[in-house]
């Protein structure tokens, strides 16, 4: 029970960070619309729109990684995976986490820390615009994103271990899910209702 609470707590942290950075889309959309208006209506384009889009989209992409991992939303070829027994799925994921995921995330944290430290030290600005938009804050996000990914990765490894022991995946924090997942759950519910209707008296 304590492990499940820990897993859901990590999920909640990843969810909160992902939802917070999702607001970058709103700011990015508003800023882009403003730049389009200034450029094509007033013929006075802004000098910061390009850098703004890079910073906001980059921050969103980096800081949503752990949230996507917690929801199982990263792209993968699951044509055969979904047909495998749960323990086989857990074994495959556990092996791949240690072969690919953690080495990549550790490299991201290590390299990102150096990039961020150098960028903060010189107060780095963009060379893509004439007004010198600061970009050190975006590079500061790189090691932070790696840290959140690593923490969520630990939660996923624990889920794999639990699944290997019990034969079932532990519960995840419920949030937005893919349409396919919702349809499959609805289909399972409909099948259960049909089975119950076909056997009168069951469940009484």
3-30 mean pLDDT: 92
Q: For residue 196, what are its two tokens?
A: 């119950």
Q: How far is CA 192 from CA 85, 181, 186, 196, in A?
A: 21, 17, 10, 6
Q: What is the per-residue pLDDT across 137-153, written as a single tens digit (0 to 9) for each? A: 889 999 999 999 999 99
Q: What is the per-residue pLDDT across 32-69, written as a single tens digit (0 to 9) for each? A: 999 999 999 988 888 888 888 888 999 999 999 999 99
The per-residue pLDDT for 4 is: 86
Q: Which position has the higher pLDDT, 99 or 182?
A: 99
Confidence of residue 182 (pLDDT cuts 50, 70, 90): low
Which residue is associated with the tokens 């349809």?
Answer: 183
The HSE-up count of residue 140 (CA atoms within 13 Å, CB side) is 10
Handedness of CA 91, 94, 98, 101 (dihedral sign): positive
The per-residue pLDDT for 178 is: 61
Count of Cβ atoms closer than 10 Å to residue 92 Cβ? 13
Most confidently modeled of 62-71, 125-134, 180-189?
62-71
The per-residue pLDDT for 202 is: 52
pTM listed for this prediction: 0.79
Look over the chain and give the mean of its residue pLDDT values, rounded to a whole number: 87
DSSP string covering 139-176: HHHHHHHHHHHHHHHHHHHHHHHHHHHHSSPPP-----
Residue 155 phi/psi, 5-degree rounding, is -60, -40
Confidence of residue 117 (pLDDT cuts 50, 70, 90): very high
Say if residue 196's pLDDT is above 50: yes
**How far apart, in whole angstroms, are the C-alpha atoms of residue 161 and residue 87?**
9
Say if residue 101's pLDDT is above 90: yes
Integer-rounded Cα radius of gyration of the chain:
22
Say if residue 78's pLDDT is above 90: no
The per-residue pLDDT for 181 is: 64
**How far apart, in whole angstroms, are the C-alpha atoms of residue 27 and residue 48?**
13
**How far apart, in whole angstroms, are the C-alpha atoms of residue 135 and residue 57?**
13
Percentage of the chain modeled with pLDDT above 90: 52
Helices (H), the chain: 2-40, 49-63, 65-70, 86-96, 102-122, 136-166, 179-198
The per-residue pLDDT for 204 is: 47
């Amino acid at each position: 029970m304590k492990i499940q609470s820990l897993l859901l707590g990590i999920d909640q942290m990843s969810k909160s960070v992902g939802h917070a950075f999702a607001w970058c889309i709103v700011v990015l959309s508003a800023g882009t619309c403003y730049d389009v208006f200034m450029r094509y209506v007033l013929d006075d384009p802004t000098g910061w729109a390009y850098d703004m889009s890079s910073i906001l989209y980059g921050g969103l992409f980096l800081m949503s990684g752990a949230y996507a991992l917690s929801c199982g939303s990263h792209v993968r070829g699951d044509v055969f995976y979904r047909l495998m027994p749960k323990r086989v799925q857990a074994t495959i994921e556990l092996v791949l986490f240690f072969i690919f995921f953690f080495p990549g995330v550790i490299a991201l944290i290590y390299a990102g820390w150096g990039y961020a430290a150098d960028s903060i030290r010189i107060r780095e600005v963009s060379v893509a615009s004439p007004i010198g938009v600061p970009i050190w804050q975006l590079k500061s996000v790189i090691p932070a994103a790696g840290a959140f990914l690593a923490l969520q990765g630990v939660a996923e490894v624990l889920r794999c271990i639990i699944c290997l022991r019990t034969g079932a995946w532990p519960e995840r924090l419920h949030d937005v899910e893919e349409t396919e997942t919702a349809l499959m759950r609805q289909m399972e519910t409909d099948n259960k209702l049909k089975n119950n209707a076909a056997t009168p008296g069951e469940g009484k």
